[in-house]
Amino acid sequence: MASANEQDLSLKLFVVLSRAVQSVMKRVEEDIKNYGLNPTEFAVLELLFNKGDQPIQKIGEKILLASSSITYVVDKLEKKKYLIRKPCPKDRRVTYASITPEGQELMSTIFPEHKEALQEIFGGLNAEEKENMIKKLKKLGFHAQEL
Amino acid sequence: MASANEQDLSLKLFVVLSRAVQSVMKRVEEDIKNYGLNPTEFAVLELLFNKGDQPIQKIGEKILLASSSITYVVDKLEKKKYLIRKPCPKDRRVTYASITPEGQELMSTIFPEHKEALQEIFGGLNAEEKENMIKKLKKLGFHAQEL
DNA sequence: ATAATAAATCTCGAATTCGAGATAATTTAT
DNA sequence: ATAAATTATCTCGAATTCGAGATTTATTAT
């Protein structure tokens, strides 16, 4: 059994993590909202922009979203003309999401801006601190995932 | 202007942070769901349990929730008999949320269990790593908040 | 070859959160 | 003392996410 101090330390880490993430995400959302997108839409476009066409199923796996939610987001992006659905000829169960030229143009403009915004948002830490935090967060994330 | 490497590091930190938090939160939600609560309900009860009666307004400030959302959560907890609303006699605009004996009993049972669960979820890091992460997350959070 | 199983996508309804605005009470300024 | 501004809470509708289940297609087992 963990000592009271160890437990309190974990509790504190949980609280501090929640707060910090809330502050960070708020800024990130503000940034993305400037582009007329929400974080999920941005994540989907970023995936298609950087990794090419994806089966709708795969998108859900990569950005950790339920299939019904993906349908919703892809619908919205299709209405905005940033992507189109393309049926897969080999497997008629599958539909690809494919970024349009409009989507490409949008992303090639805003992705660099987004990276600058992230650079500012994470400006509280220097490079070494970021490297270290990445390492520790991976450890933490893997452990939590495997429970 | 930040170098490409610095920007990529921030982007990577953002991605890793998002993933890690997603894994952690998923476990925490599973834990809390066992108690028949969602994370927001738990946060409200925890506040009342540890800090005593609170004006509804204050709850929103402490757990960072919009006033309309607080009304919704307090309604739910009141239906579950874990808290009651008490009008403030000094200022008739104010309503206190007050934990009931049932709520006290619930929290005194599940709060220790919750701390044990957190101890497991954060078990990927040792005490020193947690201390360090708390320090860095505070830096990160304050910086992001002040932008 | 047929039946059972699995996989991909979608539909639907519920849960949660937000923002805008309504209402009522208090405080501040004139 | 009255008017104006502020504060606390709530109502309402929109946005987003989920899970359960429906539908269609493909794969596996008999």
Q: Is the pLDDT of residue B143 over 80?
A: yes
**SS3 of B87, please?**
strand
Question: In chain A, which residue's Cα lies nearest the Cα of B117?
Answer: A7
The pLDDT, as a whole number, for residue B89 is 96
In a domain, B113, yes or no: yes
Q: Does the nearest atom of strand C lie within 7 Å of B68's Cβ?
A: yes
Region label for A87, one of left (φ > 0), alpha (ψ between -120 and 50) or beta (otherwise): beta
- Asked if A102 contacts A12 with a C-beta cutoff of 8 angstroms, the reply is no
Q: Which of A15, A122, A128, A145 to mutate to test the interface with B (most CBs of B within 10 A)?
A: A122
Confidence of residue B18 (pLDDT cuts 50, 70, 90): very high
Report if residue A53 sits inside a domain.
Answer: yes
Domain count across chain A: 1
Residue A49 placed within a domain: yes
Residue B135: the pLDDT is 97
**A58 within some domain:** yes
Q: Which domain holds residue A97?
A: 15-146
- What integer pLDDT is reported at residue A104 of this predicted model? 98
What is the structure's pLDDT at A96?
98
Nearest to B123 among A130, A138, A143 (CB): A143
Q: Looking at residue A147, what is its pLDDT?
A: 83
Q: Which residues contact A29 (CB under 8 A, 6 or more apart)?
A: A38, A39
Q: Which single residue is written with the structure tokens 């930190």?
A: B13
CA–CA dist A50, A104 (Å, integer): 10
Q: Would you say residue B105 lies in a domain? A: yes
Question: Would the Cβ of A57 be found within 7 angstroms of any atom in strand C?
Answer: yes
B2 has pLDDT over 80: no
Determine what percent of chain B is predicted with pLDDT higher than 90: 95
Instruction: Copy the structure tokens of residue B18.
Output: 């998002």
- B16 domain residue, yes or no: no
Q: How confident is the model at residue B147 (pLDDT cuts 50, 70, 90)?
A: confident
Give the C-alpha separation, B136 to B134, whole Å.
Answer: 6
The answer to whether residue A132 sits within a structural domain is yes
What tens digit of pLDDT does each residue of B26-46 get? 999 999 999 999 999 999 999
B86-131 tens-digit pLDDT: 999 999 999 999 999 999 999 999 999 999 999 999 999 999 999 9
Predicted pLDDT of residue B146: 87
**CB-CB neighbors (< 8 A) of A139 in chain B:** 124-125, 129
- Tell me if A147 and B19 make a contact (CB, 8 A cut-off): no
CA angle A106, A116, B129 (to 5 degrees): 125
In a domain? residue B5? no
The pLDDT-based confidence of B3 (bands split at 50, 70, 90) is confident
Segment B52-77 shows an average pLDDT of: 97
CATH number at residue B49: 1.10.10.10
In this predicted structure, what is the pLDDT of residue A26? 93
pLDDT (tens digit, 0 to 9) for every residue of chain A, 147 residues total?
A: 667 689 999 999 999 999 999 999 999 999 999 999 999 999 999 999 999 999 999 999 999 999 999 999 999 999 999 999 999 999 999 999 999 999 999 999 999 999 999 999 999 999 999 999 999 999 999 999 888
Contacts of A22 in chain B (CB under 8 A): 64, 141
Strand C contact at CB of residue B79, distance < 7 A: no
- Alpha-carbon gap, residue B76 to B68, rounded angstroms: 13
Give long-range contacts, CB 8 A cutoff, 24+ apart: A130-136. A130/B9, A130/B10, A130/B13, A131/B9, A132/B132, A132/B136, A133/B13, A133/B17, A133/B133, A133/B136, A133/B140, A134/B9, A134/B12, A134/B13, A134/B16, A136/B125, A136/B129, A136/B132, A136/B133
Output the CA angle B47-B52-B58, nearest 5 degrees: 60
